[in-house]
């Protein structure tokens, strides 16, 4: 079942200049203010449903991609300090400021989220599909006050006073577990990033290290082939050596780790899982169509196209795993 076009595309990444053009075209297609606003509302509402009961003071995000939009939405909701960590540098200050202005308007009118989400998600929103039980009028009056917006604007332009109650730090590329101090962050978020991270053990332990005790993490993980193959789970049709060719010289690529592996590593990294919502699909490749290396996956993994997982750092989590 190996398809060869993905292999050829992978090999093409070795041609100087070609990959940059391919990547740029992809980047130009994604993300507007509404997209990031909705991502934030989704992570926040589910964190609240999982038990988080105060607005985090500090938040880190892995893999913001081409925009700091999710972090900007968090700052406008009352988060004070935002750290964005990516392996590739994407964002420009001009785009952030445009995103900020668009989002301020959305928060002022309490814009409801419009994208189709799982029906069960509606229970966490009001009739206008806005989380008014979390983003109350009182909370938003404070977080959207003109003097606070000025602080957010200055932080996005890297002109914030170092003692400011609002700060933004964009660290790209990041590789070092010391990028942030241990026990310093209230919440860590990622959206369709963990499926790319090569060393899951390291990333979840890093999360555990950086988070304050009882701090939260919230990750949307997409196990699909991201349209690289026809079948949504077609990445498991490749042997490890063929997959190296598909990966080519890309700076990051799908790690092909299944749902159960994420759950297991999170459990071993000092977390209690509070929410694990799976997106199941039965239309993909069946077990006998997978490469031998992946045929021992459980049925649950073979059918799991996505996982929304939220976990809380245990009080007894140690930094010495
Ligand atoms: C599919 S994009 C998602 C971007 C954004 N979160 C969104 O939802 O639109 C994946 C992002 O993960 C980043 N990424 C990949 N590996 C990473 C790692 N180890 N640490 C941080 N970011 C990573 C990529 O550079 C890219 O920005």
The answer to whether position 55 is within a domain reads yes
Q: How far is the CA of 193 from the centre of ligand 1 (A)?
A: 4
Ligand 1 contact, 191 CB (< 6 A): yes
Question: What is the pTM for the complete model shown?
Answer: 0.92
CATH code for the domain in which residue 119 is found: 3.40.50.150
* Total number of domains constituting the chain: 1
The answer to whether position 177 is within a domain reads yes
The answer to whether position 168 is within a domain reads yes
Instruction: Please compute Rg for the chain using Cα positions.
Output: 20
Q: Which residue do the tokens 């929410």 mark?
A: 275
The answer to whether position 320 is within a domain reads no
The answer to whether position 15 is within a domain reads yes
- pLDDT tens digit sequence for 129-187: 999 999 999 999 999 999 999 999 999 998 878 889 999 999 999 988 999 999 999 99
Q: How would you classify residue 17: left for phi > 0, otherwise alpha for psi between -120 and 50, otherwise beta?
A: left
> Closest by alpha carbon to 167, among 151, 149, 188, 145?
151
* Residues 55/144, Cβ–Cβ less than 8 Å: no
The answer to whether position 282 is within a domain reads yes
Instruction: Look at ligand 1, atom 27, and give the residue with the nearest C-alpha.
Output: 65
d(CA 138, CA 184): 27
d(CA 222, CA 305): 6
Q: How far is the CA of 120 from the centre of ligand 1 (A)?
A: 27
∠263-79-145 over CA atoms, to 5°? 155
- pLDDT tens digit sequence for 239-293: 999 999 888 888 889 999 999 999 999 999 999 999 999 999 999 999 999 999 9
**Helix (H, G, I), strand (E, B), or coil: what is residue 280?**
strand
Q: Which domain holds residue 43?
A: 5-313
Give the sign of the dihedral formed by CA 269, CA 273, CA 275, CA 280: positive
d(CA 203, CA 261): 13
The answer to whether position 70 is within a domain reads yes
């Amino acid at each position: 079942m190996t398809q060869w076009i993905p292999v050829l595309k992978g090999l093409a990444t070795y041609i100087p200049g070609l990959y940059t053009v391919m990547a740029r075209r992809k980047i130009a297609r994604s993300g507007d203010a509404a997209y990031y606003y909705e991502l934030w509302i989704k992570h926040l509402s589910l964190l609240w449903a999982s038990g988080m009961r105060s607005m985090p003071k500090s938040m880190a995000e892995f893999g913001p991609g081409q925009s700091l939009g999710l972090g900007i939405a968090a700052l406008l909701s009352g988060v004070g300090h935002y750290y964005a960590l990516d392996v590739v540098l994407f964002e420009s200050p001009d785009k952030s400021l445009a995103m900020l202005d668009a989002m301020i308007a959305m928060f002022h009118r309490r814009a409801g989220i419009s994208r189709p989400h799982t029906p069960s998600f509606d229970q966490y929103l009001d009739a206008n599909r806005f989380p008014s039980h979390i983003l109350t009028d009182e909370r938003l009056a404070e977080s959207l006050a003109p003097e606070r917006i000025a602080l957010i604007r200055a932080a996005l332009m890297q002109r914030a006073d170092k003692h400011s109650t609002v700060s933004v730090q964009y660290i790209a590329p990041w590789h070092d577990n010391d990028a942030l101090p241990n026990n310093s962050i209230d919440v860590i978020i990622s959206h369709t990033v963990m499926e790319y991270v090569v060393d899951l053990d390291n990333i979840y332990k890093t999360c555990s290290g950086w988070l304050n005790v009882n701090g939260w993490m919230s990750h949307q993980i997409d196990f699909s082939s991201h349209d690289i193959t026809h079948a949504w789970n077609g990445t498991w049709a490749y042997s490890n050596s063929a997959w190296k060719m598909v990966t080519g010289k890309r700076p990051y690529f799908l790690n092909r780790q299944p749902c159960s592996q994420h759950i297991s590593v999170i459990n071993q990294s000092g977390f209690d899982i509070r929410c694990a919502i799976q997106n199941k699909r039965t239309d993909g490749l069946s077990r006998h169509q997978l490469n031998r290396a992946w045929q021992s996956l459980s049925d649950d993994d073979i059918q799991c196209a996505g996982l929304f997982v939220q976990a809380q750092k245990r009080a007894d989590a140690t930094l010495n795993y």
